[in-house]
A and B are shown apart, each in its own frame.
Chain A
Amino acid sequence: MNAPVVAPERKGPATAIHPGGPAPVPTSPLPMAQAINAGLRAAMGRDETVILMGEDIGRLGGVFRVTDGLQAEFGEDRVRDTPLAESGIVGTAIGMALAGYRPVVEIQFDGFIFPAFDQITTQLAKLHYRSGGDVEVPVVIRVPYGGDIGAIEHHSESPEALFAHTAGLRVVSPSSSADAFTMIQQAIASPDPVLFLEPKARYWSRGELPATVDLTPDGVVAGLSHARTVRSGTDVTLAGYGPTVATLLKAAAAAAEDGVSAEVIDLRSISPLDVDAVAASVRRTGRLVVAHEAPTYFGPGAELAARVSEECFYALEAPVLRVGGFHTPYPANRHEHDYLPNLDRILDAVGRSLDH
């Protein structure tokens, strides 16, 4: 029998610096889409096992141009235009991760993630657990998500609750260019799979990038877990993430004109939820309003409300209120202003909370 039984042992994935070295961090304020692009570029420059895969991400640079220029810089092998099949994209990314790579895949729109639902929930999320910790599957799934861009159906959805309900996944969403730049690099560095939800309505909002990103193991876990207080206040806590944070800040500013001091918390991570941060705030304010574009029914706000009532029931002066999408399919876009947690609906909830 001539079958070779001993082949040269495969070398582990090298962590090589891109010949040019990591690109310098831009210093001028960048739109979120470009901030993510800069984060991807930094991660790819740092580690040649980082591979981007998705539909139209190469020559086109993605339908939102988030990967613009990366194929020209890193080549077709590392920025791969795939066949048009979402399950195939995620499934092959799992295989690459099992073989030592760090794939970052793009699902073109929120509503098109469902062909990959099985690979994400029964395979990606569970492999570390099923193998008793023997294998890690560091796959990042980038998804432009959320509404408010006047799109046709399937292009404006917020499916995060479905994935937050799946043990083994981290589900995060940045609200600013700074966090987008930082968190995409931390997601890529994470040994756990990460669903990275990009609020597409905020792709064009500008913000400055941080000079440094904490990519130590502890820094990565913290960066993908913890909420941040983005405005301090004393009368009511407003919590949200991703596209909703900007609306919450507007609501807090409007409330301040009426003499109401609202604290705004950017949750940043949907799974896990940083309940401690929210509960600490509620212990001071006594009131909580949670807002997200996803339907409130079985949504992240429901979980947060339940946990806050468990953690600080006696600090609450009012029931936890939720503002979000309804238990309907995402409506035709002429209705989306009313469907989404807009400024008026959030202020209405703040008023109802304070009336208690």
Chain B
Amino acid sequence: MSEFLQLLTPAGTRVAPDPGAGWYGDPVARPAADPATAHHAVEQLAAHAAELSPSDLRVAYRHMVLTRAFDREATSLQRQGELGLWVPSLGQEAAQVGSAMATPATDMVYPSYREHGVAQVRGLDLRDIIPVFRGTRHGGWDPRAYNFHIYTFVIGAHTLHAVGHAMALQQDRRRGLEGPAAVTVYFGDGATSQGDVNEALVFASSAQVPVLFLLQNNHWAISVPTTTQSRVPLANRADGFGVPHLRVDGNDLIASYAATRYALTRMAADGGPFLIEFVTYRMGAHTTSDDPTRYRSREEEDAWRARDPIARLRTLLTDEGEADEDFLAAVDAEAHELGASVREFTRANAAGEFPEVFDNVYATPNLQVDHERATWDAYLARGEA
């Protein structure tokens, strides 16, 4: 594994980053940017890490534990036949929660389909994700209410939407309108091979728009390892697009937060894109239809289990005296309640009457939809006659 930025070790102890390591890349010197060196970045990153108060770390811990409980419950519900499919976020909680906590609530976030931890931080009722996987509707929430777009299942397609959204922010500013500073977009190691992701990097760099590419390298695109996608560390690909980048330990909540803050701060100064690769691990299956034992070893999974993102944060909080047994127990109890609530919600969640499929195909009246809806009504009427 190539070098990454780490601020919290798997053992739960804080460490200073090594500026000589290869986790920092800046292919373009831009006048608006600060002196672009890893040494300078280290100072900034340390400052951002220090922003996280003990209270913030407890908030992060709670988000991560609730996300994991939700994810475990949904996985279980799929096994019981209550969901058609589930995409586990197990193991990726630090990358998701850390980056999301660093993102202003007003910035639009474009998730892929595994970002349950980001949803948690954005304030969604996590149960709103359930209908998507239960098959009662396609989207589960109003993106505008949370600045959190609906999930995209076509790999990488949404990265272009995020770039376009950032182009709109840039145009807003040119028109003198106030607005959020940036857009963030989540995608995975497999997605980096998609044409759309490469085009997104081209367009973002060409237009110099404030979009933050949040790449979760969880090492497996279903059964295909990251090494099949790329012969170089994924973050290094950003070099070719002229996009500065960081490679961080994605199981490290503090590094994930600090890197995202660093990137957004820099983007606010120079207006251009940035990419962060979070080196993490999909500890569960790709989806509940997948069987990881067919393509990866128990030893590999065990090695990553020892790098668990929640365990190391809990160790830190405990060792630094910032979390006592009462706090940990209260979070566990809340997680337990969440699980029960998700179960109850899921079992009661149902689709509407069939003709709702004709709703919202278009935003305006449409001759063909109206015709087909009428044929359905006539069919029902014949059945009742």
Contacts and interface: CB of A to CB of B under 8 A. Distances in A.
A118 B366 CA distance: 23
B43 interface: no
Interface stretch (A25-33, A204-212, A269-277, A294-302): A269-277
The 6 A-B pairs with the shortest beta carbon distances in the complex, nearest first, are: A95-B164, A91-B160, A99-B168, A92-B164, A88-B199, A272-B367
Contacts of A7: 104-107, 179-181
B365 interface: yes
A99 to B, nearest CB: 3
B165 interface: yes
24 contacts: A2-B51, A10-B172, A11-B177, A83-B199, A83-B203, A85-B199, A87-B196, A88-B203, A92-B164, A94-B160, A95-B163, A95-B183, A98-B143, A98-B149, A99-B164, A99-B165, A101-B168, A123-B152, A128-B361, A130-B139, A130-B150, A133-B359, A134-B144, A272-B368
A19 interface: no
Contact of B364 (A10, A51, A220): A220
Interface size class, chain A:
35 or more
Contact of A77 (B138, B174, B200): B174
Interface size class of B (residues with CB under 8 A): 35 or more
Given A91-B196, A217-B364, A273-B367, 19 more contacts: A1-B52, A3-B103, A3-B104, A6-B104, A7-B181, A83-B202, A88-B203, A91-B159, A95-B162, A95-B165, A95-B166, A96-B171, A99-B168, A115-B195, A118-B196, A129-B138, A135-B144, A167-B361, A272-B366
B361 A168 contact: yes
A54 B239 CA distance: 26
A83 B138 contact: no
A92 B368 contact: no
Given A3-B261, A87-B196, A123-B161, A274 B367 contact: yes
A131 B150 contact: yes
Given A11-B177, A132-B360, A87 B199 contact: yes
A332 B217 CA distance: 47
B108 interface: yes
Nearest to A81: B206
A190 interface: yes
Nearest to A135: B143
Nearest to B60: A1
Given A10-B172, A101-B171, A272-B366, A134 B139 contact: yes
A321 interface: no
A192 B362 CA distance: 6
B367 A132 contact: no
Nearest to B370: A272
A1 B51 contact: yes
Contact of B164 (A4, A83, A96, A130): A96
B160 A48 contact: no
B168 to A, nearest CB: 3
Given A129-B360, A190-B364, A118 B104 contact: no
A144 to B, nearest CB: 22
B359 A131 contact: no
B142 A134 contact: yes
A308 to B, nearest CB: 13
Given A77-B171, A88-B202, A91-B199, A273 B154 contact: no
Contacts of B366: 170, 192, 225, 272
Contact of A95 (B102, B105, B161, B367): B161
Contacts of B167: 92, 95-96
A130 to B, nearest CB: 4
B75 to A, nearest CB: 24
Nearest to A92: B164
A133 B108 contact: no
